């Protein structure tokens, strides 16, 4: 048994699908979390025979697509012997200077691709709606919310994630500054903060502390580390100027 938490993609209505949410075999159960932002999905995946409830492959895929990333959905479907039509698209991405040829479901966001396919889990999923900035990466040098970018539409792009900043053991100046200024507590927003700060410095629009505060407003820190985060960024910004 394993559990995973997914951001809420589907609300109470329309019903998740026409099939029962809790199947009699106990194969699949769903429970909403208290704040309605996510569905906590309990899945028992191992060694279950295909359930007679899921007879139609398309329904099977549709059903699971509400809870899983497409790739997981297909692997689940194939695991239980349901061949499904895969509307896959070939793309090529350069991620942290490495070229990747990938076949993706068009629904896959860049964030899910990075975390689930490339297994670069440094980029974090916070709200999954472009509001918190935890998923910020650099796409062709520009900072963007990777949760709102479909991977297919970024074909040919050059992506830099938090994993791509250090050179071997040598940390990026921003990473050093974040350590020196204790610019985090839980650390969940940190990769997004650092990528965003790097993008901001390259944009060359922020010079004063006030401007940095405004231009970092797309990254939320719920541990109240923001003053230290701004200190760390100002440190690097003034170093750059010297």
The residues of the shown chain that bind other proteins, judged by CB under 8 A, are 7, 9-14, 61-62, 65, 70, 87, 89, 105-107, 109, 128-130, 133, 136, 139, 142-145, 148-150, 152-153, 155, 196, 199-200, 203, 205, 208, 210-211, 213-219
- Comparing CB distances to other proteins, the nearer of 107 and 172 is 107
3-state secondary structure of 180: helix
Going 24 to 43 to 108 to 199, the CA torsion angle's sign is positive
* Smallest separation, CB 139 to other proteins (Å): 8
Question: To the nearest whole angstrom, how small is the minimum distance from the Cβ of residue 176 to other proteins?
Answer: 23
Peptide bond into 14 cis (omega under 30): yes
By C-beta, is 120 or 197 nearer to other proteins? 197
User: Minimum Å distance from CB 214 to other proteins?
Assistant: 5
Residue 13 Cβ, how far from other proteins at the closest point, in Å?
Answer: 4
Tokens 């990254």 -> residue:
219
Question: Is the separation of the CB atoms in 127 and 142 below 8 Å?
Answer: no
Query: For 227, which DSSP code?
Result: H
| Cβ-based nearer residue to other proteins, 153 or 238 | 153
Distances from the Cα of 116 to the Cα of 120, 124, 142, 165, 208, angstroms = 8, 11, 22, 20, 38
3-class secondary-structure state, position 187: coil
Cβ of residue 147: shortest distance to other proteins, in angstroms? 8
- Which residues does 1 contact at the CB level (< 8 Å), separation at least 6? 42, 43, 44
Which CB, 96 or 149, lies closer to other proteins? 149
57/126 Cα distance (integer angstroms): 32
Q: Considering the complex, state which of residue 26 and residue 153 has its C-beta at the smaller distance from other proteins.
A: 153
Quick one: 96 or 109, whose CB is closer to other proteins?
109
CA 122 – CA 71 distance, rounded (Å): 20
* Shortest separation between residue 210's beta carbon and other proteins, angstroms: 5
E strand or H helix that includes residue 41: strand 38-43
Angle between helices 70-79 and 57-65 (to 10 degrees): 140
Q: Which residue lies nearer to other proteins by CB, 65 or 71?
A: 65
Q: Give the N- to C-terminal CA distance of the chain in Å, as an integer.
A: 55
CB of 27 to other proteins, least distance (A): 23
């Amino acid at each position: 048994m394993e559990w995973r938490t997914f951001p809420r993609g589907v609300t109470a209505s329309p019903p998740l699908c026409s099939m029962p949410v809790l199947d009699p075999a106990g194969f699949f159960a769903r429970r909403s979390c208290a704040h309605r932002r996510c569905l906590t999905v309990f899945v028992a995946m191992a060694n279950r025979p295909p359930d007679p409830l899921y007879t139609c492959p398309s329904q099977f895929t549709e059903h699971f697509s509400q809870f899983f990333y497409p790739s997981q959905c297909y692997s689940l479907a194939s695991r239980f012997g349901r061949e499904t039509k895969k509307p896959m698209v070939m793309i090529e991405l350069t991620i942290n200077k490495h070229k990747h040829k990938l076949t993706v479901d068009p629904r896959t966001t860049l964030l899910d691709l990075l975390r689930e396919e490339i297994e670069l889990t440094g980029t974090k999923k916070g709200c999954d709606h472009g509001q918190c900035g935890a998923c910020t990466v650099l796409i062709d040098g520009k900072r963007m919310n990777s949760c709102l970018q479909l991977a297919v539409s970024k074909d040919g792009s050059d992506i830099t994630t938090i994993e791509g900043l250090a050179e071997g053991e040598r940390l990026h100046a921003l990473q050093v500054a974040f350590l020196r200024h204790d610019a985090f507590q839980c650390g969940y927003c940190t990769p997004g903060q650092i990528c965003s700060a790097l993008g901001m410095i390259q944009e060359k629009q922020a010079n004063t502390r006030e401007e940095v505060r405004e231009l970092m407003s797309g990254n939320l820190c719920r541990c109240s580390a923001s003053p230290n985060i701004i200190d760390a960024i100002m440190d690097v910004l003034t170093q750059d100027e010297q």
